[in-house]
Amino acid sequence: MPPAYMDEVFHVRQTQQYCKGDFASWDPKITTFPGLYITGASHAALIYGALKPFRDLSLEEVCHTTLLRTVNVLLAAACYLIICNIYRKLHPQVTTSYAMLMAVTLTLFPLHFFFIFFYYTDVGSLTFTMAGYLAALHKRSFLAAALAGASVLFRQTNAVWAVFILVAAVSQRCFRQERAKWRDAPLETQIVQLIKYCWQHKGGLLLEVGPLASVPLAFAAFVVWNGGVVVGDKGNHQASPHLMQPLYFVLFCALALYPIFWNPRKLTQGAQKMLRSFQSKPITLIRLLATATILAHYVVEKYTIVHPFLLADNRHYTFYLWKKVLSAHPLAPHMLVPAYLYSGWSLWEGLRTSKQLSLLVAAGMICTIAVLVPAPLIEFRYFTIPFVMLVLHMKPPVPGQLYVTAALWALVNAVTLYEFLFAPYTFADGSRPRLMW
């Protein structure tokens, strides 16, 4: 691996300040809370304590890039176990071996796997969010609050997922009796029941999930005080109504899950279902398709945002995606509308048939939109947590589809890591940048 690269330069340098005991210094280029640096410095201190009896080293010498990168390797191992347990909790009908296969597959998800080997915030962000969710599913509110709070220290937008975890915790209590009956109830009925339950049990709920509610409330207070979500470099991270982000996301998810959603059988089923709908309710179907198509084209035309970083930084795959596909022709973005619509429908079908509460599915969709839409930059890393949440809650695929998905992701990982490690290119100034997500 090369020395500290891109954002690692800021992350490693800040952690090394912590290892020196300097907690007052702060790099203005850093936009996140210090969760990664606290974790990295603590990890270095533990290694230092273990090595001190055998070697004459200082903590500053131990706190180097290679050691700090091992933090995410350890967090990824924990994340695998957490995801396995979440899946068993959400889908009690699946076997332990299937849950392990799902956890292995999600560990291989390219946006997650690639950053396991870097000192970035992504792996810790996912791990602590998943840990908070698992604790909430086991009704451990104080632990869930602590873990969700830790996830916010890695990435501020995880406060939105703390809201999702809160909704899941309250729903679990509200619908614990006759869950199958409520699962089949309309969404509006579930919402009304949840509101009634919260009002009738407000005292008990305050004690049970109050700690979890304090995480998003505390973050909201911080946003008011800070004048925004970002710390540090606010100029390049201004929130904007980037309504194209959900369309990018659904297409990305459907393509990432290609063996599940783009296989011939799934495409045939989609065509047959549309034909049956057209035969039974032609006017309704035409109106629905026309409305969705018009809205999608309107969003493409009015809410496509091109961040300066997207055009200037050719060290990311998104630079080439924009240059070669999305801006190859003025009509290119509009030509993808059918793919956006099919992808959205496919993901909805996967969630609708998953035996999860519609309320929880709706909450996940709202949280995904809340996380993605304010971001002006197309950054695939922002998709990681929404993607994992999507896969965890959708209908379990057949094992063969998971095996093929895992194999394809492993191939993508091999190619992207090879490109990064062994195929750098040279700038005019002699520097050798490397391609990454």
Mean pLDDT, residues 208-213 taken together: 93
Task: State what percent of residues in the chain have pLDDT above 70.
Answer: 98
Question: Which pLDDT value is given to residue 433?
Answer: 84
Mean pLDDT, residues 204-211 taken together: 91
Contacts of 194 (CB under 8 A, 6+ apart): 170, 171, 174, 359
Mean pLDDT, residues 375-387 taken together: 94
Give dist(CA 125, CA 161) in Å, integer: 11
Question: Which pLDDT value is given to residue 235?
Answer: 67
311-358: pLDDT as tens digits: 888 888 999 999 999 988 999 999 999 999 999 999 999 998 888 889
Question: Which pLDDT value is given to residue 392?
Answer: 97
Question: Which pLDDT value is given to residue 364?
Answer: 96
Question: Which pLDDT value is given to residue 227?
Answer: 86
Q: At which residue do the structure tokens 């891109």 appear?
A: 6
Question: Which pLDDT value is given to residue 239?
Answer: 80
Is 233's pLDDT higher than 80? no
Task: State what percent of residues in the chain have pLDDT above 90.
Answer: 72
If phi > 0 it is left, if psi is from -120 to 50 it is alpha, else beta; for residue 6 that is left
Contacts of 20 (CB under 8 A, 6+ apart): 59, 60
152-174: pLDDT as tens digits: 999 999 999 999 999 999 999 99
Burial class (CB in 10 A: 0-12, 13-18, 19+), 3: exposed
What mean pLDDT is reported for the chain?
92
Total residues belonging to the chain: 437
CA neighbours closer than 13 Å in the CB half-sphere of residue 412: 20
Beta bridge partners of 316: 436
258-281: pLDDT as tens digits: 999 988 888 888 888 888 888 888
Q: Which of 54-58, 68-72, 107-111, 139-143 has the lowest mean pLDDT?
A: 54-58
What is the 3-state secondary structure of the chain? CCCCCCHHHHHHHHHHHHHCCCCCCCCCCCCCCCHHHHHHHHHHHHHHHHHCCCCCCCHHHHCCHHHHHHHHHHHHHHHHHHHHHHHHHHCCCCCHHHHHHHHHHHHCCHHHHHHHHCCCCHHHHHHHHHHHHHHHHCCCHHHHHHHHHHHHHHCCCHHHHHHHHHHHHHHHHHCCCCHHHHHCCCHHHHHHHHHHHHHHCHHHHHHHHHHHHHHHHHHHHHHHHHCCCCCCCCCCCCCCCCCHHHHHHHHHHHHHCHHHHCCHHHHHHHHHHHHHHHHHCHHHHHHHHHHHHHHHHHHHHHCCCCCHHHHHCCCEHHHHHHHHHHCCCCCHHHHCHHHHHHHHHHHHHHHHCCCCCHHHHHHHHHHHHHHHCCCCCCCHHHHHHHHHHHHHHCCCCCHHHHHHHHHHHHHHHHHHHHHHHHCCCCCCCCCCCCCEC
Core vs surface per residue 196-209: b (16+ CB within 10 A) or e: ebeeeeeeebeebb
CA neighbours closer than 13 Å in the CB half-sphere of residue 196: 7
Is 179's pLDDT higher than 90? no
Instruction: Give the count of beta carbons closer than 10 Å to the beta carbon of residue 157.
Output: 20
Question: Which pLDDT value is given to residue 277?
Answer: 83
Question: Which pLDDT value is given to residue 236?
Answer: 64
Mean pLDDT, residues 199-225 taken together: 93
Give dist(CA 343, CA 372) in Å, integer: 17
Question: Which pLDDT value is given to residue 308?
Answer: 86
Question: Which pLDDT value is given to residue 285?
Answer: 87
